[in-house]
Structures are given as structure tokens and as C-alpha cells.
A and B are shown apart, each in its own frame.
Chain A
Amino acid sequence: MDNLFAARSTMAISLAFHIIFACIGMTMPFLMVISNWLWIKRKDEIYLKLTKAWSKGVAIFFAIGAVSGTVLSFELGLLWPGFMKYAGAIIGMPFSWEGTAFFVEAICIGLFLYGWNKLNPYIHWISGLMVGISGVLSGIFVVCANAWMNAPAGFNWVNGRAINIDPVKAMFNPAWLSQSSHMIIAAFIATSFAVAGLHALLLLRNKNNLLHKRALIIALSFGSVFAILQPISGDHSAKDVAKRQPIKLAAMEGHFKTDKGAGLTIGGIPDINTETTNYGIKIPKLLSFLAYGNFNAEVKGLKDFPRNDWPPILPVHFGFQIMVGIGFLLAFVGALFWILYLKWKDKLTAKWFLKIAAFCTPLGFIAVEAGWIVTEVGRQPWIIYNIMKTSDAVTPVPYQIVHLILFIIVYLFLSVMAVWLMSRQIKVLDNFQILKND
């Protein structure tokens, strides 16, 4: 394995690990404060119990997210010094804001978790809300920096050096809004459906448990709104990619031949040798419409770009199909939830619906990971699109494979531990409720 591939893999697993905790850190605080609000207003013990259970989840996931985030701030330089040497001065600003937001989040989480008996209930509630708000702001700032790698702005690149730096233009680059809104919504969906799924699973065991039922309703009513909105944001993102990174769009679609009135391929297996995508379902002219708002627009195919500039086609294509597929499935489940909630409320705890909800538990996170594969692998071979190649940014330190193996071990261990810890939390919570209902 060469150094570049080892470094890319280390970055990939570090990000793949961190993003799960970042998503949870952005979303769970909102679920927690909704439940807390209901406790303040209705004085129903179950909401208090639920808030405390969720806040423990927030604490655990935030701590792991914070340390894995600290690690990432070093990984950028450990793996990509050639990138950071220039990018630091251009795109450091959102990171400095992110630091502030993250700090506020850490302070507020301390206040919320340990301030139950020390703070006025409304100040306590606001501190919980601030955890969520600063979490979302952190997320937006970091995605701004990533968006800049896809849509570099705010500098001129002359003879391998950056001049005329404008940090504001760099931060609010043309892709910042589409990318960060897509990500924040995705975090809301993934986490809410995972939370709902877990409670659905527990309801399947004991369907009279009120705590789990209320948890399911809070999580789904929050997540489903965003699940229904996400296709709009996805469309916005796709049009952005079509405009600025046509080669990425072509890879996402497995679209090899430049075409006017190009059809949309659903599924299919791209074959790089024959330069065709087989076995997919093709809907005529739809790709042209989705990418450019015109059924007869020309969509560039991969063949029009030099082979050296192609990203790895298979992961990008499959990543995209998986993300979109899951996105629509969750939007459908979200709509189903609202129909049941408004018309047949008792069906929410029906076995078939709980099974669907439980099935959705991991899906949102799978979609998030798949989406990041599209973004990151789809940008290859560039680290700064059309400016700097990833291979020119990689560290000169040899034996990156050792770095990779160490981090695989650590992250694998932590993932197992986190799952184990959550299962123990749930076990205790469940015991308590059963006792209470008896």
C-alpha cells in the first residue's frame, strides 16, 4: 500500500468515525430539549426520565465526538501538510469560529448535565438549547471549510502560491450553503431515525412502555420534517455539483458519454473498461432536467475528461445511489408517520410500523457516510479542486501504514465500546420502566 493511499484511508476512517458522533451531537440536544420542555410544561415524570436518559446519550457521544474532533485538527497536518501550508491561512477562519462554537457547546453541556438542581429551569433549558445551536453552528463552519475544497474561492493561485487572500470569500464560497444545509439536515434525519428506531425496537419488546412511545413520537416528528425536506436540499446540491464539478456528477451517475437530453440512471454497474453503465433503470431526459432545469441540456460525460482526472467511479456511483435511495425511503417513512399521527394515532405502536421504524435505525448514518464518500472520493484526484492534487499534499513521513493500522485498532475498539455502553444504558432504562409499569 503506498503512502498516499494509507494517508487517504487514515483520513477516511477518522472522518467516518467522527461524523457519526458529530451528527448525534448536533441533533440529540434538540430532542433532549423538546422532552425537557414538555416536562417543564406538563410536569409528567416520564418526560423528565426521558430527558435525563437522552442527556446521558448526549454526554457520552459529545465526549467521544470532542476527542475525535481534537484528533482531526491534528490529522489535517499529520496527513496533509502540503495542503495545510496554504489552506491554513485561507480557510482557517471558519475553524476559529468553530472553535468558539465548540467551546460554548462544551460549557453549555456541563451546565445542562450537572445543573439540574443548581439552575433555574428555564436557564437550564436554554443551556440545553444552546448545546444544539452551537453544535449546528460548529457543523456549518466545518462544512464551509470542506465546501471550499470543492469550490475554492477567496485567493489567486499563482505559480504554486496563494496570493490576494480573502478569508471571507473563502469561507462563504459558492458551495458553502448547499453543502452545509444538506449536511445539517442529514444529521437531523440520521440521528432522529436512529433514536426512533432504538425506541421502536424497545417498544417491540414491551409495547405498553410510555417512555419509549413518547420518545418515538418526539424523535420521528422532528426527523420526519427534515426527511421530507431533504430531497429539495439534495436537488440544490446536485445542481451545484453539475455547475462546478461536472466530472463528479458524471461519476455519481456513471454517465460516460456526453449527451443532450441525458437520461437518469437508477442503480446500474459502471464498467470502466467498456465505458458503459449496465443493468440500471434509465429514465429519459431526467438527468438533464435535474442537473440544469432543462430537459434538453447537455450533460458532460466522463469520456470528455482526461482519464487522469477521473475520480474512482465505483465508490462514487454506488455511494450516490445508496444515499439517494435511503433519502427517499426515509422521506416516505416520514410521510407515513405524519399520516398515522394525524389520522390513526393508535397505529403508531402497531407491530408493522415499529418494525419499519426499527429497520430504519442505521439507514440515515449509512446515507451520511455514503454521501461523504461521494463528496470526498468524487473530488479526487484533487484535494483543492482543480488547484492542488491530493498526491502533492500528502505527508513526506514514510510508513503511513502504521499510522493507519493504529487508528483502525483504536477506532474499532471505541466503536465496540460505544455500542456496548449504549446497550447497557438501555438495559438499565428498560428495567426501570418495566418495574414502574408493574
Chain B
Amino acid sequence: MIYIVIFFFLVSIYIYCLLGGADFGAGIIELLEKKQFKERTRNLVSEAMAPIWEANHMWLIIAVVVLFNAFPIVYTQLLVSLSIPLILMLIGIILRGTAFTFRHYDAIKDSSQELYSKVFEYSSLIVPFFFGLIVGSIISGKIVTDPSSFYEGYINPWLNLFSISTGIFVASLFSFTASVFLTSEISDKRVLDDFILKSKKSIVAAVISGLLVFISSLIDHVHFFESFFSNYLSIGLMVVATAVLPLLWKILEKGLKWLSRFLVGAQLLFILGAFYLVYFPVLVKLQGGNYLTFYNSAAPEITLNYLGWALIVGSLIIFPALFYLLKVFKTEKQT
């Protein structure tokens, strides 16, 4: 049963990165948009996100619940050691969700719209940055179970080059998926070209910050570089993810919406997979070379059994409902 639980945990993280990530990325794209196109992009983002963004962000809750139910030691260790970036990320999540809702539902559209947008855009950048930073910190091997000082226990695990570059990498990656997702909502040719360009720019940013992750791992002695390049499957996945880029742009230009969405989803899966394969089944790397893994941190068998069944039954309810939601709102525009 533990494998089912692990499967659902990884799937929810992946879907959160894909769909939630695209939502964050949309906010980043809005933030970086030139002044004269701001209005246009804001409308596009609002329209694309409104019916589905809440569902997209449920995946984070599912992942957190699975984590504290099935791997409570990992959950508590992370929430203690990384409490500062987590609190900052949470504040970003609150501000972002409410600002988006306020912007969308405020009955009077006046100057306050500008404020909502500003809050929404900046928090859209902050949340994925801290999300990436936290992911980087988890594998950085700087987390201490029994710290002797405030700095060692609660600052050093995340305030380092490796974690910060992982944060930048994740933010750029999310902007990339967002630009592809948004492209598929556009019918105007000139706007379309503009967004394809955006997707190219953001993938360049992702590649550069990805290199930064590798370099900083060497500087910070994270042993990421060596492990990555000794894992052939990871290298293979990364190569495939890069190789399909030209194909993706071709498809975008042709306006094949579902295919481009599918392809970018596969790319994200390969990229995330390539990174996580290096570590599986490790969940947290602790200082001194110890690990918390899926296996050594798992709750008793009976808890995993009930959780596993809950997840199976839950997904039988959620997935059809979700497909229905997407079918209603995301297919009609094609006609």
C-alpha cells in the first residue's frame, strides 16, 4: 500500500507543479508584461484562470495531507527547519488568492483594480520562488534535527546559493508552462506570436537558472551535480525534454492546443522526474549524511492502508469531476 500512497503523493506534487505552476507563471508573465499590453494580458490571465484556479491549488492540500498522514516525521521536520520560508510562502498564497478573487469579483472596477493586480503579480512570483527554495533546501543536506543555534537550525538550511537558485529555476519553469498554456487560449495571430516568444524567453531563463542550480550545487557541496550525471535515466529524460522544444514551438504556431498542452505537461514531468530520480526514495537529506526516506518515515501499515483506500476512492470521485470541469470550460473555446 505504501507504493500507492507514494504514487499519489508524487502525482499531486506533479499536478500542482503543472496546473498550479501554470497559474503562478501566468501571474509572473503579467508582472513582466510591457505597459502597453498589460491590460490585454490581465484579461487573458483572468479569463483563463477564473473557473479552475481553486481546483488547481487543491493539489497542494492533498500533498500536504498525504505528507502529514503517511510521513508525519518528514512533515514535522520540514515545518520546523524551514518554517521561515514556509511562512513567507503562506503569506504569498493568502495574498495571491485573495487579490485574484478581489480583482475578479469587485463589483466596482476602479483604481483598486491596479492594487489587486500588483499584489497578485508580485505574490505570483514570490510563491513559486519560495516553493522552489524549499524544494532545494529539502535536498541540500543542510537540515539539522538537533540544532545548536538559531542560524544552524532555521536559517542555514534554506539561505544558501543552491536553494535560492532552485527557487529561481522553479519560477522560470512555471513561467514557461504558463506561457504555453496561455498560448492555447489565444486566437489573435499577433498576440499568439508574442506569447510564443515569451515561452522561448522563459525556457532560456529556465535553462540558465537550471545551470545555476548545477553550479551552485558544486559551490555549496550539495552533491547534486555528481549524482545527476551518474544517473543515465535522468540524463536521458533531460535530453528528451530539451529535444522536443522545437516540436513544441511548431505545434504552438499551428495552434494545436491540446497537443501543445500535453507536450508541455510531458516536458515538465520529464524535467521534474529527472531531478527527483536522483533522490528517490529520499524525502529529506539531513546534515551529516542521514536521510529521511519514504520507508523510514512511514506511518504504521494500518494508517497507510486507510489512506491508500481513501486516495483511490477519492481519485475516482475527483478525476471524473475534474475532467468534466475542464471539458466544460476548456473545450468550447476551440469551436
What is the interface of chain A, defined by CB distance below 8 A to chain B?
56, 59-60, 62-64, 66-71, 73-74, 76-78, 81-82, 84-90, 92-93, 95-100, 102-104, 106-111, 113-115, 118-119, 165-168, 395-398, 403, 406, 410, 414, 417, 421, 424-425, 427-429
Contact = CB atoms under 8 A, between A and B. Distances in A.
B61 A425 contact: no
B314 A97 contact: yes
Contacts of B60: 70
B58 A102 contact: yes
A421 B329 contact: no
21 contacts: A63-B54, A64-B97, A67-B97, A70-B57, A76-B68, A78-B87, A89-B299, A92-B69, A93-B303, A93-B306, A99-B61, A110-B325, A111-B324, A111-B325, A118-B328, A165-B303, A397-B80, A410-B91, A414-B98, A425-B105, A428-B108
A330 B72 CA distance: 43
Query: For chain B, what secondary structure do more than half of its interface residues adopt (helix, strand, loop), or is it mixed?
Result: helix
Query: For chain A, what secondary structure do more than half of its interface residues adopt (helix, strand, loop), or is it mixed?
Result: helix
Interface in B278-335: 299-300, 302-303, 306-307, 310-311, 313-314, 317-318, 321-322, 324-325, 328-329, 332
Interface string B214-227: 00000000000000
Nearest to A81: B76
B111 to A, nearest CB: 13
Contacts, number: 202
B93 A71 contact: yes
Chain B interface size, under 10 / 10 to 19 / 20 to 34 / 35 or more:
35 or more
The 8 closest A-B pairs by CB, nearest first: A92-B69, A88-B72, A77-B79, A89-B299, A100-B314, A67-B97, A63-B101, A81-B76
Interface of B: 50-52, 54-55, 57-58, 60-62, 64-66, 68-70, 72-73, 75-80, 83, 86-87, 90-91, 93-98, 100-102, 105-108, 150, 153-154, 299-300, 302-303, 306-307, 310-311, 313-314, 317-318, 321-322, 324-325, 328-329, 332
A89 B321 CA distance: 28
Contacts of A397: 80, 83, 153-154
Contacts of B52: 110
A103 B80 contact: no
Contacts of A166: 302
Contact of B66 (A96, A103, A406): A96
A155 to B, nearest CB: 10
B120 to A, nearest CB: 12
B76 A104 contact: no
Contacts of B75: 77, 84, 88
Nearest to A56: B105
A425 B109 CA distance: 11
A96 B105 contact: no
B314 A99 contact: yes
Contacts of A107: 55, 318, 321-322, 324-325
A104 B80 contact: no
A63 B105 CA distance: 11
